[in-house]
Amino acid sequence: MFKKASWLLKNLNNNNIKIVDASWYLPNIGRDAFKEYSHGHIKNAVFFDIDKVANRKTMLPHMLPTKKYFEKEVSKLGINNRDTVVIYCNEGILSSPRVWWTFSFFGHKNVYVLDGGLKSWKLAGGLLINKKSNIKQSNYKCKYKNKELVIKYSKLKNILSNINLKPIILYARPHLRFLEVVPEPRKNIGKGKIPGSLNFPFSLFDNNGFIKSKTEIRKILKKATNSNSIVCTCGSGVAACNIALSLKYIGNTKWKVYDGSWTEWYLNNRSSI
């Protein structure tokens, strides 16, 4: 699930380890993740753009790409099927879980998140470089898709309309957004949340960018993990993966990520919201 910066330092020059910078920011933040990557990244790291490696045929942001497109883009990054993929981001474990989940969905077995992100790398004595990584294109092939890791809008809608089914919907966004106090970061998307959602901000699971202990996470998720059906949501499917990663970390496999999250839900239900 996680790799420590000390481990990565020791294995930095291993050809079978691929390092992925998955940094990403909300559109209202005003930061350019690729520009920051260009100015400083871990040696040999490649940049994974979640807005590019996505379904380009939908207006929804960074939705899961097709199998063929994922294979094409990952091949460009020089990643092979048997590689150990270590994913990091600038802000602790903010957006790296989204890329972890994407690789997991497409069946990549050895995929990890760097605990603490770039902060941990620097604390461990790791250096950042601005030299362009030398990438040798691969021929990446997905053997299967873990469809059980995702739930689509139509399925979630049907579940919520059935009184006999009681999924627990975990909402990963900040509490003020859950309370509908602060505005949405995306234009034309109103405030709100999926009916019945419980607020579990992604910040609950980390301590200054480092993942909390399994014991602490089990306490946080004690009530939620009693359910046989857990749906992880957020604004557009990024922070939801932080909850998914935390659940996986404590051995819970009864979860799915709602990829479209609040953005899709709002657009499909705005007339009644």
H helices present in the chain, as ranges: 5-10, 33-39, 67-76, 96-105, 117-123, 153-160, 175-178, 214-220, 240-249, 261-269
Q: CB of 72 within 8 A of CB of 59?
A: no
How far out from the chain centre does Cα 6 lie?
23
Residues 6+ apart with CB under 8 A from 258: 150, 151, 153, 156, 194, 231, 232, 233, 237, 240, 265
Q: What does the alpha-carbon distance between residue 17 and residue 44 come to, in Å, rounded to a whole number? A: 10
Q: Can you read off the two tokens belonging to residue 178?
A: 């859950």
Q: Where does the chain show beta strands of DSSP type E?
A: 2-3, 17-21, 46-47, 84-88, 111-114, 150-151, 168-171, 198-199, 206-207, 210-211, 230-233, 255-258
Can you tell me the distance from the alpha carbon of 157 to that of 183, in angstroms, rounded to the nearest whole number?
25
As annotated, the active-site residues are 234
Give the residue from 112, 166, 151 showing the smallest Cα distance to 232. 151
